[in-house]
Amino acid sequence: MKTLAIACLILVLTGNLFAQNKFGILTYQIPDHWEVAEVSDNLVLFNPANPGCRIAFFPTTQTIIDTEEEFLELGSQKINELGSQNFTHYPVEKIEQEGWIIFRTLIAHNNPQYNLIFMITLSNSNETTGFLYEANSGACNDEIMQVLSILDIQPTPEPTVQDPTKPQPKGKAKPMKDLRRVAEPQKGKGKGKN
């Protein structure tokens, strides 16, 4: 009986090592040596051995970010909440894909120090989430891309009864897999819309 209890405990502990965690409509995994903290209403994953290496997930809100001005306003708010430096940002890119409106911008990229700050918002027809990440080395950026490769975003199902006063959705959002494709700074590449 004691052996069975130990075996069950080992299975439970092993399951927790690979458990997916939820934050709003985001599902994520924490790298082994990383930690989690809440800063304001944001969830921050960070490497305690390298505090300049972190990802901050924004809470899901019932708003839509569909203009550059709204994106930049949210960006300033999040940078202040997270205690990051507010550098002049690079051009903002807007992408419409799989029912999502995606805004992204590189906020800072200082060489040779390798100080990279990148922000993305994702909006469907009724909600928005996003994240900001900071990388201070190539190794840090690789770790962040690994976290983003298993990050999943599942939109909240559309209500079955449509409110006639609410604008009709532009398209039904699909789950997004492997956010690396929208989270890697690409200078002048992709199907951007301004």
Residues contacting 104, CB < 8 A, separation 6+: 92, 93, 95, 118, 119, 120, 121, 182, 183
CATH class of 21-155+171-183: alpha beta
**Residue in this structure with the two tokens 């690079």, named with its chain if needed:** 90
Q: Could you tell me which residue, 75 or 163, shows the higher pLDDT?
A: 75
Residues contacting 119, CB < 8 A, separation 6+: 75, 78, 104, 105, 107, 130, 131, 132
**Does the pLDDT value for residue 166 go beyond 70?**
no
Instruction: Tell me the pTM.
Output: 0.73
Percent of the chain whose predicted confidence (pLDDT) is above 70: 66
| DSSP 3-state percent helix, strand, coil across the chain (nearest 5) | 25, 35, 40
Per residue in 53-110, pLDDT (tens digit) is: 999 999 999 999 999 999 999 988 888 888 876 566 689 999 998 889 999 998 876 7
Q: Identity (one letter) of the amino acid at 161?
A: V
Residues facing 183 on adjacent strands: none
